[in-house]
């Protein structure tokens, strides 16, 4: 079983580190065009792993094929962002895709308790590993240098990912795929998790709703997260670009 801070958990982390450096050293002397095609192949692999759940994961729900939650949204967008060969697209992959995937890889609470050789556990590992690895390999192979100029676009991208997930959850309920709204990314609030801190930072983004005849005070979906986004994540994103602020030559693909 994969339990956080268990022996299996630390093996999980060690495996990710070892695999990362194996790929790095095997392909570091290849041409930039070869490396780029390899990374494109990895993005395709994330899609294959995602859709194989339909056949290999007996516990998969139909609605989960829609690239749900933020890492799912990043997985869906990854091939298109990479193939664009644009600086802002790479920055979005780095600041949003790799950053949040690393969090999930280090703290995989979504699959805690799963058997280690269960398909969804394996899929979760490689999907998040590649979201992180692709960007770090690009940086270490001299293919890309993060820029602070794209922080504003990363913020917009995060908002788009949030709206995507809010729309999906509403569609799931409307079509009967779900009976309740799924709290992807903590968007709906009132969650016993780290998102409680986001609610405390935004006591003014709340409203009253009647649930089963009782008035319940709720955070306004997504809007309640904006103060924490600006206070916590934007500074972190800026810090993530500081090591690359010096001029570093980036080799053309």
Phi, psi at 214, each rounded to 5°: -115, 135
Mean pLDDT, residues 194-201 taken together: 77
What's the rounded Cα separation, in Å, for the pair 110 and 104?
8
Determine the pLDDT at residue 194: 61
What's the rounded Cα separation, in Å, for the pair 121 and 15?
14
What's the rounded Cα separation, in Å, for the pair 87 and 60?
36
Residue with tokens 């799963």: 114
Determine the pLDDT at residue 112: 84
Would you give the end-to-end CA distance of the chain in angstroms? 42
Query: pTM for this one?
Result: 0.90
Q: Which helix (H) or strand (E) is 11 found in, with range?
A: helix 7-27
Determine the pLDDT at residue 253: 58
pLDDT greater at residue 62 or residue 23: 23
pLDDT (tens digit, 9 = 90+) per residue, 91-138?
999 999 999 999 999 988 888 888 888 999 999 999 999 999 999 999
Domain boundaries, the chain: 7-148, 154-229
Q: Which helix (H) or strand (E) is 164 found in, with range?
A: helix 151-175
Quote the mean pLDDT of the chain.
Answer: 90
Determine the pLDDT at residue 2: 83
């Amino acid at each position: 079983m994969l339990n956080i801070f268990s022996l299996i958990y630390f093996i999980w982390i060690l495996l990710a580190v070892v695999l990362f450096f194996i790929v790095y050293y095997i392909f570091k002397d290849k041409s930039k065009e070869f490396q780029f095609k390899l990374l494109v192949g990895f993005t395709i692999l994330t899609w294959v792993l995602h859709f194989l759940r339909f056949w290999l994961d007996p516990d998969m729900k139909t609605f989960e094929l829609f690239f749900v939650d933020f890492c799912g949204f990043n997985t869906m967008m990854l091939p298109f962002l990479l193939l664009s060969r644009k600086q802002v697209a790479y920055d979005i992959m780095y600041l949003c895709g790799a950053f949040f995937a690393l969090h999930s890889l280090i703290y995989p609470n979504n699959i805690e308790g799963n058997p280690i050789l269960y398909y969804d556990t394996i899929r979760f590992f490689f999907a998040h590993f590649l979201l992180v690895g692709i960007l770090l390999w690009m940086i270490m192979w001299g293919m890309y240098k993060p820029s602070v100029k794209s922080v504003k676009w990363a913020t917009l991208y995060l908002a788009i990912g949030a709206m995507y997930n809010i729309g999906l959850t509403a569609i799931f309920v409307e079509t009967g795929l779900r009976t309740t709204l799924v709290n992807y990314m903590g968007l709906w609030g009132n969650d016993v998790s780290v998102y409680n801190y986001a609610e405390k930072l935004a006591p003014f983004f709340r409203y009253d709703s009647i649930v089963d005849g009782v008035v319940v005070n709720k955070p306004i979906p997504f809007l309640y997260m904006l103060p924490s986004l600006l206070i916590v994540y934007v500074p972190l994103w800026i810090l993530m670009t500081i090591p690359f602020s010096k001029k570093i030559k980036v080799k053309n693909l």
